[in-house]
Structure 1
């Protein structure tokens, strides 16, 4: 799906939360500020100069998007913080001018500050400061600047490139890269067995009972049946839908299957008979109503995570969950793309001794 960063705050947030991609943008652009409190900082004059626009244009963007820019790193320096920042700037400029070689891009950019700007900086009682993320945020909001347009294009290209490098262009199984997927799969396998056993023992023979009741659970959790889910993720008939689900969704499915297996058992034993499939559908509706108050918060979480992650990582829109789409957190980007993420096969290999111990119990 094409993205218009100037109009979508959600897309801007997702990009700014993707620290792995931001690092790539940072390395690609070569635009540096003064490093202060562990982050590069920029004045609005520097940002205006970079985008080749008037300072008042930056001020208008700040006025119209203040809350968003505060989140991404805009601050107004005053008092002791401003004093410390000024000292950092003047120390940097003084040390840089003392060097014979000022070809370092960091030094060159800062030395573009002319004497009048430095004099103005020394006298100002307050100073508008942006972090690198806030600078990028400005670039994603700024209309009418060729440099801003090029920046947005570069950002989107780098975001795609990061995914391709990490996943080889295959995002279908990105859910399997997080640490929690493996234990969730193990739990799901065990509870699925309890569920199917219960259907065997307490429902009369019917070849549709497994698929229909599984779909009941799916629709209760994320409003789609298996066929709808498969179509959205473009899965073929041989690909398992659960192998593409996030750990939080799998855990909730396990809870449903385990709970309904027990509920069905009690109903059948109380009636002293096996139940028909139509009776079981009614019983599931009872179970769903009883569980609603308990599972609603978990349903909302699962729907939001699934809809939001799939839109960002898989470029897949769950139409029935579009109201649950939110930004993907920095933690999620790290979870699926960071150092601890890995392909499922590698994680299985790392945990093979654990499986051996479980098997020997």
Structure 2
């Protein structure tokens, strides 16, 4: 069946209700409220290197599938590192940019990238999208990329795409009833260390509070943004990728998906972290502080998140990309994926060979990370029994 595939340079070209009705939306970051807020607050657009170029698939003028997409003029904010590929193009007198990617800007969270209506044949839809992506080669686009697809199997069936593996660290809820229950799954040494750290923070007079949905006030958001901005200024010398306007907009449009953890000392806020959540997962995104306190970051960003996930019976907690320090706090190595289609055949072959070599290194790192997880022997036996489960994706 032939579908009508269109590229849209503004998210407003979509009807928000139709977009949100696509059944494969599996995280807050794919909702119309989040994607439109990025554009309306100018976090993406002409001045950012992220030019909206979304895919809409229509049948009789009715939206039946979509992919969030952007023309990229650089590789910043993607968290899948291809700078070496860009340099190789440059050294051979070719342009790697612009390229097209399907991704959520500044958000390396695995999720569905092909959003589709229930009952529609996904293979047929993607075949139509594939032809549309191929046409980008005639518009000086060097390549197309699909970043952090939740399940790359369908997209990988297209022979044009090369599969790349990476590793993140996610926490999994093994039916814990309380935070103490989670601690009981750890080694005695690690369990005592976490309890000691929490007692020390309390002894310093630090209070930790969690606010969700309607409990979040504009004051909470304003202080969070102050922390967010200060973190980026200190680390990168700029105000951060996301603007105050963006956070204001999601505060009004999707507060029911937001959790804020705020630390106070003597009644004054000193640190804040922001999470998103849905019915199955928690996603840690941003953190900052105005007063440095040892170990406070781990409490606000990890342990409070684990407690919340247990209370809400959420299956997973993705605390953000990178960070081997997460392993010793119970976050397991988890494979993530990206797909890459380079239109230049010689560069495609070279990258294919690179990815074969890289795959072995990534898989070795994954196995090494599993060996240092802080779980006790009983829990390790449970984890071994569940090795190769679906969350780790294709081999």
TM bucket, shorter chain: under 0.3
TM-score, length-scaled by structure 1: 0.24
Higher helix fraction (1 or 2): 1
Give the structure with higher Rg (CA).
1
